[in-house]
Amino acid sequence: MRWGVHHANHYYGHSHVLARYCGLDDTDPPRLHGYLQHGWNIGDGLAPDHEYVPGIPSFLWSERTRRRAWSLGRRQLYVVGAPFAYLLAMEPLPPAAPREGTIYYPFHGWEGQHVVGDHDGLIAEIRRTEPGPVTVCLYWQEYRTPRLRQRYQQAGFRVICHGYRGGWWHNLDPGFLHRQLAEQRRHARVASNRLCSAVLYGILAGCEPAVYGDPMRLAGERSAFGGQRRIEREWAALHGTRVDPEVARAVAVDELGADRLLPPAELRRLLRWPMPVGVAA
């Protein structure tokens, strides 16, 4: 194993997807020389609870994120696009593939904070809104909470989990994004009670999006960079039970940098990754 610089680079199998795109061994990605954005956010692209060494490059998903990071004093910033967009580039959507129902992602906590909110109220709103079968995708933390998982199951929803994101170089799950893409491309709609990476991914994967329901909150949540109010204000076009698909597509492409993907050779050079075996320099 050659993991580095930061363990978050390997969340959700991101480094594995990029290694495959670059023609390298995706079971043992090379050391990634910098910090890779691992989720959509409204700040500088990097997790606020992580410490970062000045002078180390940051590989961000979008130009908008790069400009925000620059305004906050960060330097050595590179726009590379989201790993999910690279996965879609390698596994394009089949034409006219059958789709049915909605995949809904309730806002989730993480290892350090749990969600506080009215799940019963959210369940009722989903049932009122969605005409077809509903799949509820829970984060591993909520999925492993039997009473919560069973509440969604008892409502008649199919309940799944895409997997564990990994942490500190343990329990890494290279198949996470692959399972997420497979689930999204079988559904007609993607929805959540907060705008998040999963909704943007679903838009890129061809789903009609929606953002509605009690946004809930994290225990002890602090509103960084304007918080939920800013999200609802700045990305208002993506909120509601029915969203203009063309507007949504444009936003998702912009936020995920899907129009900024680098050729394999350029991405390898930027990440300081080697040439694939048998390929001339």
Can you give the residue ranges of every domain in the chain? 7-91+259-271, 102-256
Three-state secondary-structure class, residue 54: coil
96, 86, 46, 103: which is closest to 69 by C-alpha?
46
Edge-first strand order for the sheet with 102-105 is 158-160, 134-137, 102-105, 189-192, 208-211
Core vs surface per residue 230-247: b (16+ CB within 10 A) or e:
ebbeebeebbeeebeeee
∠ CA 36-273-47, nearest 5°, is: 10
Are residues 14 and 166 in contact, defined by beta-carbon separation less than 8 angstroms? no
Query: What span, in angstroms and rounded, lies between the C-alpha atoms of 9 and 6?
Result: 6
Using CA atoms, how far residue 124 sits from 34, 54, 121, in Å, is 44, 47, 5
- Give 235's contacts (C-beta < 8 A, 6+ positions apart): 195, 251
- Give 250's contacts (C-beta < 8 A, 6+ positions apart): none
Query: What span, in angstroms and rounded, lies between the C-alpha atoms of 199 and 207?
Result: 9
Q: What is the pLDDT of residue 80?
A: 97
| φ, ψ for residue 249, nearest 5 deg | -60, -45
Q: Average pLDDT by consecutive 10-residue portion of the chain (281 residues)?
A: 63 93 92 90 78 84 94 91 98 86 86 72 96 93 88 96 71 88 97 96 97 79 71 95 97 97 97 80 52
Q: What is the pLDDT of residue 171?
A: 67
Q: What is the pLDDT of residue 167?
A: 58
What's the CATH code, domain 102-256?
A: 3.40.50
Query: What span, in angstroms and rounded, lies between the C-alpha atoms of 217 and 225?
Result: 16
Q: How many residues does the chain have?
A: 281
Q: What is the pLDDT of residue 174?
A: 87
Residue 135: beta bridge partners?
A: 103, 158
Q: What is the pLDDT of residue 1?
A: 40
133, 152, 129: which is closest to 142 by C-alpha?
152
> Which structure tokens are listed for 225?
């960079």
Are residues 45 and 61 in contact, defined by beta-carbon separation less than 8 angstroms? yes
Query: What span, in angstroms and rounded, lies between the C-alpha atoms of 142 and 58?
Result: 30
Q: What is the pLDDT of residue 228?
A: 81
Residue 158: beta bridge partners?
A: 135
Query: What span, in angstroms and rounded, lies between the C-alpha atoms of 103 and 114?
Result: 22
Does this model's pTM top 0.85? My answer is: yes
Query: What span, in angstroms and rounded, lies between the C-alpha atoms of 37 and 177?
Result: 15
